Structure 1
Amino acid sequence: MNISQYLLAEIKKLKFDSCKNLVGLGGVQGVNFLIYWFSLFLWTRFVSKEIYGQYQLILSFSGIAGIFCLVGLGESLSISAAKKNDGNLSVIILIKFGVSIAAAIGLGVVSHYYWDKDPSLARGILWLSCLFPLLQLSTIRQVWFNAKGWFALLILSNFLFALAPVLALAIIVFLGHTQSTVFFVITVQGVNAVLAVAFILFLMARRENAKKDWKAIKYGFHASLAALLGWMILTDKMFIYKYLSASDVAVYSIALVFPDQIRVLFSLFNQILLPQIYAAGNVQEAWQYIKPKLIILSFFFISLGVIGFFAIPKVIPYLFSEKYASSVPYAKWLWLFQCIVAPTTYLANILRAQQKVKFTYLFSISHPLLLFISFFILIRFGLPGIVAAKIFSYIYAGVFFLISFYHYNKRKCSSRVS
């Protein structure tokens, strides 16, 4: 049996429901993809590189603040939803919102720091801090819908979160208010905040019981503690802004556009696999479920990586104009390595679902540290140095996931906690 026959046989084994959900999620993701590219068209054609770079930097600050908002509670949400412990939802929402208020105050301090150096950037950060606690609630609906297997609601919410901000962006461009970062923050992020609140109210009304699982919440705190160094991963644009310029931040952001789409594809397939992975009793059971699918996914991602490597040099200048052509060499190499490593992330998800605390701590500490040190050392080489650091981090993550999964999978013990 050759490889094409083997892959075809494995595809035929996939359940009809899984394929139906994949088609549904894939269809809306395709629409979201077009919406996303329309937003990039607006950013790159009608907004200056300096303003776009500032906006991307503000999003980086938001991401860093989000790291300190107990991101590990997302794991608690997935476990709770899959195990039908709906009482955990309100507990996690309250904890998340309270911590987010503290993080918003931190963003206010950052705004004060930049007030004299860059007033436009400072005002954008200040307005973001006002919206931040509500924005942090936006991820809850996606995790809960996904783990519950409510794919129709997941599809609808993903579509709304893709469409609404782009409509807000289009209004800004139409009105000609493209010279201030503040307008983009208030409108684009403001729309996201309103949607987040609406879906939280919807989730609270749809709870089926009041059962709580404090063990799942405790694991979320472990995962959050381990992830505290994750802010280091998001310092790339800050290094570029400090040592290069806001325009270089914009070029780098465009270079990340295509590699980021690999994460979107990964997420699409992960949304289908996640309920069964989290419902599995141990690593071996989850592995038996995902193994045939992982073979197909690996072939898909690697093939996509090779195709994209040769296509990106032609696509970027066409889509984003010649002013972003300098991002081409960075984009194609980031894309290729992201594609190669992507399948190993499904193995990491199995270990997270089985609450392997050692794995969570080791990776969540070592990966950000290595990346931050790489940024610090290689920024002297400009954008090529930052890109090299990112590629190194991809390789490190892939190797770490493979070794860790091999270690846990070979063990006969089916303990939930290592």
Structure 2
Amino acid sequence: MEVLKNKGINGLRYLERYTKTDMVYLVKGGFWSIFSQIIVTVSTLLLAMAFAYFISKETYGQYKFILSLANILGVFTLTGLGTAVMKSVTGGFEGTLNDIFWKNIKWSVLFFLVILGISIYYFVNENISLAISILVVGSFSPFIASTNLYNSFLVAKKDFKRSSIYFNLIGNVFPAFCLFITMLITNKPIWFVAVYFTSNTLIGLILYLRVLKIYKPNDKVDSGALGYSKHLSIINILGTIVDNIDQVLVFHYIGPAQLAIYNFAIAIPNQIKGPMKGLASLIFPKFAERSDKEIRHGMKNKYFLLFISSIVIIITYIVLAPYIFHILFPKYTDSIFYSQIFVFYFLGMISSPAEVYLIIRERIKEQYIGTILGTIIQIVLLFVGILYWGLIGLVLARVITKICWSTTNILLYNRASRETT
């Protein structure tokens, strides 16, 4: 066994000549990310099948609308805390985790007041279900955000095994199981929202305390972490709105049934995105340790590997999508064509290394430019696409925007890296 292990390591080291990437580190960390993502994908697909079988399109559309509205309202919180904690812990300031945990709770008082006002508005207008759902969102979201900071800590410590098992596996499977039990009892969206947020809060708190017990973080606190997180949060405001505004627009202009069709169209591609997003977590600690020259040396190779991976995924998915939907989601075969178009979204994920660089080097100006340009493009394309062409316009708008956003971030990285030469 040891001989095979050594041969495998030697083979990976040989590949590093061409990839300019630490392949041993990538495979070791990537294994747990891929393993957990497979379990998450299976549980998510099973949950989606249950929703498709037990719940009507209208009810599912209402549920997804409330979750998207919750994400948009989340812009009033410090959404950049995770990245700030990751950067601080990488620098040895482990006490930042607990410090930011409580600061986020205090900061979220403003968020709750905003949520309370919106909830009262819907209550006065006799939309009781939505009023209560929004109040649930406001009550639990700050605690979910704070407890989930344990994952940023684990990634910074390069403990990808625990990160994958705790955050990706347990953190997703437990709420999914709770939702499945709920839909066997009721079909009311308000209960799905309540169970989703309470289960995420409970499991997040348990895992947060578990990480504290295992690592016993030191008392060193990065005094600049909160300030940097505020910048990241401002940057994330536009991104968060853009990532969820599509759901709101479809719900209002086309209807909850079409929103359900759209969500099933993007469901499987979104699950496939998981491992590719996980690469950013693997890259983050490495970039923090390396000089700009070392990062530049292997950047083009990383772009190329991500491009080839994206092409393989796109072609494979386009071929398999009809079979997948007819087997798993026979009620949602209308989603097949939209899903095959949406998978081209992967071409926009090539810029992940560039985006990590801009974050780790605190290139705030470049992050603002990229976010503002991407947001303007997406909002314009979303409105035009939905109003004139419906769902196909929406899907094309998301794909085109992602590719434009990716190209912009690569250009911004090139400019930033030249300035440090």
TM-score, structure 1 as length reference: 0.88
| C-alpha separation in 2, matches of 1:402 and 1:298 | 13
Q: Per-residue deviation at 1:41?
A: 0.9
Residue of structure 1 equivalent to 2:403: 395
Of stretches 157-166 and 132-141 in structure 1, the one that deviates more from structure 2 is: 132-141
Q: Per-residue deviation at 1:355?
A: 0.8
Q: SS of 1:256's equivalent?
A: helix
Q: Percent identity?
A: 22
> 1:168 and 2:178 equivalent?
yes
Match of 1:380 among 380, 383, 387: 387
Q: Per-residue deviation at 1:214?
A: 2.5
User: 1:138–1:250: structure 2 CA closer, same or farther, 3 Å change rule?
Assistant: farther
Q: List, as ranges, runs of 4+ consecutive aligned residues in structure 1 with deviation greater than 6 Å.
A: 6-9
Give, as a single letter, the amino acid of the residue that structure 2 aligns with 1:134. Answer: F
Correspondence 1:254-333 to 2 at 5 A: 254-282=264-292, 284-288=293-297, 291-322=300-331, 324-333=332-341
> 1:58 and 2:77 equivalent?
no
Of stretches 15-24 and 159-168 in structure 1, the one that deviates more from structure 2 is: 15-24
Residue of structure 1 equivalent to 2:163: 154
The answer to whether the 8 Å contact 1:227/1:365 transfers is no
> 1:87 and 2:95 equivalent?
yes
> 1:369 and 2:343 equivalent?
no
CA offsets, 1:103-130, max 9 Å, x none? 2332333333334464333332222222
Q: Per-residue deviation at 1:203?
A: 4.1
Q: Per-residue deviation at 1:191?
A: 0.9
| C-alpha separation in 1, matches of 2:351 and 2:22 | 20
Of stretches 230-239 and 7-16 in structure 1, the one that deviates more from structure 2 is: 7-16
Report the aligned-residue RMSD. 2.4
| C-alpha separation in 2, matches of 1:208 and 1:130 | 28
Of stretches 67-76 and 234-243 in structure 1, the one that deviates more from structure 2 is: 67-76
Give, as a single letter, the amino acid of the residue that structure 2 aligns with 1:277. Answer: F
Residue of structure 1 equivalent to 2:257: 247
Q: SS of 2:108's equivalent?
A: helix
The answer to whether the 8 Å contact 1:100/1:136 transfers is no
The answer to whether the 8 Å contact 1:259/1:331 transfers is yes
Match of 1:193 among 201, 211, 235: 201
Give, as a single letter, the amino acid of the residue that structure 1 aligns with 2:51. Answer: W
User: 1:230–1:341: structure 2 CA closer, same or farther, 3 Å change rule?
Assistant: closer
Give, as a single letter, the amino acid of the residue that structure 2 aligns with 1:296. Answer: L
Q: Per-residue deviation at 1:57?
A: 0.9
The answer to whether the 8 Å contact 1:138/1:192 transfers is no
| C-alpha separation in 1, matches of 2:192 and 2:315 | 36
Residue of structure 1 equivalent to 2:8: none
Of stretches 284-293 and 253-262 in structure 1, the one that deviates more from structure 2 is: 284-293
Q: SS of 2:218's equivalent?
A: coil
Correspondence 1:4-83 to 2 at 5 A: 10=18, 14-83=22-91
User: 1:266–1:160: structure 2 CA closer, same or farther, 3 Å change rule?
Assistant: same
| C-alpha separation in 2, matches of 1:259 and 1:201 | 33
Of stretches 48-57 and 301-310 in structure 1, the one that deviates more from structure 2 is: 301-310
| C-alpha separation in 2, matches of 1:103 and 1:217 | 17
CA offsets, 1:147-187, max 9 Å, x none? 1111222122121112101211221233x312x11221222
| C-alpha separation in 1, matches of 2:179 and 2:297 | 45
Give, as a single letter, the amino acid of the residue that structure 1 aligns with 2:53. Answer: R
Q: Per-residue deviation at 1:289?
A: 5.1
Unaligned runs of 5+ in 2: 1-13
TM-score, structure 2 as length reference: 0.88
User: 1:50–1:112: structure 2 CA closer, same or farther, 3 Å change rule?
Assistant: farther
User: 1:280–1:67: structure 2 CA closer, same or farther, 3 Å change rule?
Assistant: farther
The answer to whether the 8 Å contact 1:316/1:328 transfers is yes
> 1:356 and 2:363 equivalent?
yes
User: 1:123–1:287: structure 2 CA closer, same or farther, 3 Å change rule?
Assistant: same
> 1:225 and 2:228 equivalent?
no
Q: Per-residue deviation at 1:132?
A: 1.9
Unaligned runs of 5+ in 1: 1-5, 414-418
Give, as a single letter, the amino acid of the residue that structure 2 aligns with 1:56. Answer: K
Give, as a single letter, the amino acid of the residue that structure 1 aligns with 2:121. Answer: Y
User: 1:127–1:217: structure 2 CA closer, same or farther, 3 Å change rule?
Assistant: closer
